[in-house]
């Protein structure tokens, strides 16, 4: 049973009474989310990241382009849109690399991860609420070092880089 608490622009917050596999019944705070798609733009061993302002993080974060699914939208359609809007890129090929749950202890958001190859530039068309001050390609090794130095701290990006590793072409 769900008790509705709040519905925002993207999330729906409530409490749910659930019976766990152990047989114990508990009340959980649960955020329902429509899901998202994330793109790892990959050219050989170079990954294009965006530096986007995130209010909750208190500043700019290096991230892979990503966005929330629109009602009825397929994850691949969302991935194509976000790659163009945020990174100013289009791709010949998209590989579905898996998915991750952002915070499964309290939210059902599923983020589909795509690796985009065959990249070419196009005009970025950012949403009014997106503040992106840099788009830059890094080697995959640089990305790993940035994670180690806490310069890439966005969890979905860290997970996506791990998934994308198997698509890296080294010359």
Catalytically active residues are: 130
The radius of gyration of the chain's CA atoms, rounded to the nearest angstrom, is: 17
- Residue in the block written with tokens 């090929």: 93
Hey, what long-range contacts does 122-125 have (CB within 8 A, 24 or more apart)?
122/84, 122/88, 122/89, 122/90, 123/88, 124/84, 124/85, 124/86, 124/87, 124/88, 125/84, 125/85
Is residue 60 within 8 Å of 25, Cβ to Cβ? Answer: no
CA atoms lying within 13 Å on the CB side of residue 57: 14
Of residues 91, 76, 83, 12, the one with CA closest to residue 49: 83
């Amino acid at each position: 049973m769900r008790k509705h608490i709040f519905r925002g622009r993207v999330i729906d917050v409530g409490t749910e009474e659930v019976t766990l596999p152990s047989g114990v019944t508990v009340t959980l705070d649960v955020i329902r989310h429509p899901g998202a798609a994330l793109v790892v733009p990959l050219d050989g061993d170079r990954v294009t990241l965006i530096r986007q302002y995130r209010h909750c993080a208190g500043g700019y974060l290096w991230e892979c382009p990503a966005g929330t699914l629109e009602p009825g939208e397929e994850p691949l359609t969302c991935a194509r849109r976000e790659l163009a809007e945020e990174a100013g890129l289009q791709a010949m090929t998209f590989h579905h690399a898996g998915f991750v749950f952002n915070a499964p202890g309290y939210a059902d958001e599923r983020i589909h991860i795509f690796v985009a190859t065959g990249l070419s530039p196009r005009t970025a068309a950012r949403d009014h609420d997106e503040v992106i001050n840099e788009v830059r390609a890094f080697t995959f090794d640089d990305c790993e070092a940035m994670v180690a130095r806490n310069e890439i701290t966005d969890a979905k990006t860290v997970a996506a880089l791990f998934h994308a590793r198997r698509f890296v072409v080294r010359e």
